[in-house]
Amino acid sequence: MGDEPALVEFLYELWDANWDDGPLGNYKIHEHRITKKTSKRIYFTYSNGGHRAGYVDRQRIEADGVICHGYGRRLLHLTRPELPGPPKPPSLAELKAAMAAAHPDAGGSDEAFIAARQKYVEARAAAKKPS
């Protein structure tokens, strides 16, 4: 009854496993265990780096909830972030506006207009298909 387990705390990092494959997003959350807190710093060990240790400015992360850390510019969060959903495809109206903006008469190029029109035509055809 008197011996309660110590609370384990973490700093969280939203990590995209496909960071070099474009904006598809295969997100994971890395939990970096907090090992010590002082009035100025929070010390932690990297969950994906063996026994490497690091620290962050305690006042800054507690004020902002997030801090950029290290040469890899990791974003460490004080609370667990939500995983982002898949990107929302552009609407037909947005595609039509992009097509109009890419038109040569509006200052665009032939290539840009053709590419924008192709995207619009494909999206319109997909929208007409029964689900």
- The pLDDT profile of the chain, 131 residues, written as one tens digit per residue, is 556 656 789 999 988 776 665 555 678 899 999 999 999 999 999 887 667 889 999 999 999 999 998 877 889 999 999 888 777 788 999 999 999 999 999 998 999 999 999 999 998 988 888 76
Q: For residues 17 and 83, what is the distance between their CA atoms, to the nearest angstrom?
A: 13
Q: For residues 20 and 27, what is the distance between their CA atoms, to the nearest angstrom?
A: 13
Q: For residues 18 and 68, what is the distance between their CA atoms, to the nearest angstrom?
A: 20
Q: For residues 54 and 66, what is the distance between their CA atoms, to the nearest angstrom?
A: 15
Q: Where are the domains of the chain?
A: 10-77, 92-128
| Residue pair 43/35 in contact by the 8 Å Cβ criterion | yes
Calculate the CA 94 to chain-centre distance. Answer: 23
